[in-house]
Structure 1
Amino acid sequence: MPRTPVPLYLSTAAGLSLLLSAAIFGFFYAWVCSTMWGLDAIDPRVAIAAMNGMNASVRNAVFAPAFFGTGPILLATAGLAALAGHRGAAGCFVAAGAAYLAGAFAVTLAVNVPMNQALMAAPVPQDIETAAQLWQDYSGRWQVYNLIRTLVTATVLGLCAMGIVRLAQAR
């Protein structure tokens, strides 16, 4: 079977897919292994205020390409791979894009964002016991869903890498 060359536009799209997949995985992973543990270890009143500050600041032009662009770029790369005759790679990229949209993007919009908005809408309790209860209720649930996003984006990154390997094998 003759090998199908990989056009530059497809290599570029695959590279961008990998970069965005790695960026969003790293973002969610950092929350798992440091940020939330650090917030859990401090005064809950400070943790609530700090979380509100981080949630307010994350909506920015640096974060947006990774969060909003990963799914569409993966799916576009899948389409380009299919059009160029690289069906195996296309399958990896479409699986990665679908997994990201369902398991990270949708989870964020359906669970984490509403939780963040509710936390921000509530005044920070001055009573430490009340603040501790609010933070405990928020942090535990938030971390479960962030772990889901982290595991999904790790899978997305792996699928994207597999797509790139399949493209490289076609040369």
Structure 2
Amino acid sequence: MTRSWEVLTAATTVGSGLLAGVFFAFSAFVMSGLHRLPAPAGAAAMRSINVTAQRPPLMIALFGVSILCVATIVRALSTWSRPGAGGLLLGAILTIVGALGVTAAVNVPLNDRLEAGTITWDRYLAAWDPANHARTILCLAGCAVLLAGAIRRH
């Protein structure tokens, strides 16, 4: 593997772990804290979090890591006969599905419904929490599989 591809693989792996950590924090304690609030206060706090989440730090991480994953997928497919290619491919796919796929398909629409007032706080939590757990697990698995693929490359 050339130096630039090693850097790409390392950045993709670290990025996947970073996203897993962000989603884990929500699953482990942010959402638990919001659950403890009365429904109107919890919903208001989540709406505020959703506004701040749409700023550069998270957006750069989310879309930047997704771009890195696409590049890693292309690299894995173009070097398919090399050891570790399958791990790089699978790890990048797991990360994209978790970070971008679940977020776009489940979390963002729920956030939009919460903002519009078309979903109750209890129903929001019942759908949002499992989706966030899925994002966490998929990104963490993606990170682990990317790491295994990188190790096999050498």
Asked if Structure 1 and Structure 2 have the same fold, meaning a TM-score greater than 0.5 normalized by the shorter chain, the answer is yes
Specify the structure having the higher radius of gyration (Cα): 1
Q: 2 CA distance for matches of 1:44 and 1:29?
A: 22
76-85 vs 151-160, greater mean Cα deviation: 76-85
- Using the size of structure 2 for normalisation, the TM-score is 0.89
Amino acid at match of 2:140: A
Shift of 1:86: 6.7
Amino acid at match of 1:147: H
Q: Deviations over 1:33-61 (max 9, x none)?
A: 00010000112211111100001111121
Identity of aligned residues (%): 26
CA RMSD of aligned residues (A): 2.1
Q: Deviations over 1:102-138 (max 9, x none)?
A: 3431121111101101101129xxxxxxxxx922111
Query: What's 1:20 paired with?
Result: 15
Query: What's 1:128 paired with?
Result: none
CA contact (8 A) 1:78 1:91 kept: no
CA contact (8 A) 1:48 1:119 kept: yes
Aligned length in residues: 154
| Structure with the largest fraction of helix | 2
Q: Deviations over 1:64-116 (max 9, x none)?
A: 23211223312313433565677232221211222223343112111110110
- Using the size of structure 1 for normalisation, the TM-score is 0.81
Amino acid at match of 1:113: V
CA contact (8 A) 1:17 1:74 kept: yes
1:101 aligns with 2:96: yes
Q: 2 CA distance for matches of 1:166 and 1:86?
A: 12
The structure-2 alpha-carbon separation of the partners of 1:119 and 1:143, relative to structure 1 and needing over 3 Å to count, comes to same
